[in-house]
Amino acid sequence: AQSVAQPEDQVNVAEGNPLTVKCTYSVSGNPYLFWYVQYPNRGLQFLLKYITGDNLVKGSYGFEAEFNKSQTSFHLKKPSALVSDSALYFCAGSYSGNTPLVFGKGTRLSVIA
Amino acid sequence: KAGVTQTPRYLIKTRGQQVTLSCSPISGHRSVSWYQQTPGQGLQFLFEYFSETQRNKGNFPGRFSGRQFSNSRSEMNVSTLELGDSALYLCASSLGLGPDYGYTFGSGTRLTVV
């Protein structure tokens, strides 16, 4: 069965430092991978996606993610964290373009000033 | 343009009751998906509708049902509510079937069962 895992429930980083939020996937075939962010009492906002092409994907708000097929990972990164990046981050995957997304359980990112 | 609208935003129901949640997608979007979000389980897929037909269904009991109307608006119904149904219910709309077209999520309906 396809699945997405986020091994860290919480990530703390100092403002200005680089941040990484980890995601691994188990999806048959060619995976479609996504990152979403959720702020309190809000729905999910799309950050970026990987479908095919370059392994390094750039998204909204300065975020990027690297698709690594050999390690089955799709980690979210940002060179310099902002306090306003503090939120709940979800990795999600699908094994084709017309099947529902399977989400990881989320990682809470706290950026400390 | 208007986003995905979910009503109501908050609901409190008693065990055994039933509830109906509504989702109005972005104009022109024909696909609506529903997810249940809980702190312990994260986001769990409920169902997906496209052109008034249920195209995919998650692993939830038959107490959970949904439908989509000709204007693409969707409702989900939960009958015989249980305490464990307390959750944030999120709706996402898309131009086409599947996430490749890009999901836009609503702010959700927070259901509390007491």
List, as ranges, residues 6-35 from B with C-beta within 8 Å of A: 33, 35
**Identity of the residue numbered A72:** T
Geometric angle at alpha carbon A63, from A20 and B40, rounded to 5° = 55
Nearest to A100 among B33, B41, B96 (CB): B33
Q: What are the backbone dihedrals phi and psi of residue A84, each rounded to the nearest 5 degrees, phi first?
A: -70, -10
Model confidence over A68-97: pLDDT tens digits? Answer: 999 999 999 999 999 999 999 999 998 776
B106 in contact with chain A, both atoms CB, cutoff 8 A = yes
Cα–Cα dist A90/A44, whole Å: 9
With 80 as the cut, is the pLDDT of residue A62 above it? yes
Tokens of B84: 């464990």
C-alpha B59/C-alpha B11 separation (Å) is: 23
Average pLDDT, chain B: 94
Q: How confident is the model at residue A1, as a pLDDT?
A: 67
Task: Show the DSSP H helices in B1-114 as ranges.
Answer: none
The CA-to-CA distance between both ends of chain A, in Å, stands at 41
How confident is the prediction along chain B (114 residues), in pLDDT tens digits per residue?
679 999 999 999 999 999 999 999 999 999 999 999 998 888 999 999 999 999 999 999 999 999 999 999 999 999 999 999 999 999 999 998 877 788 899 999 999 999
Q: Å from B85 to nearest chain A CA?
A: 18
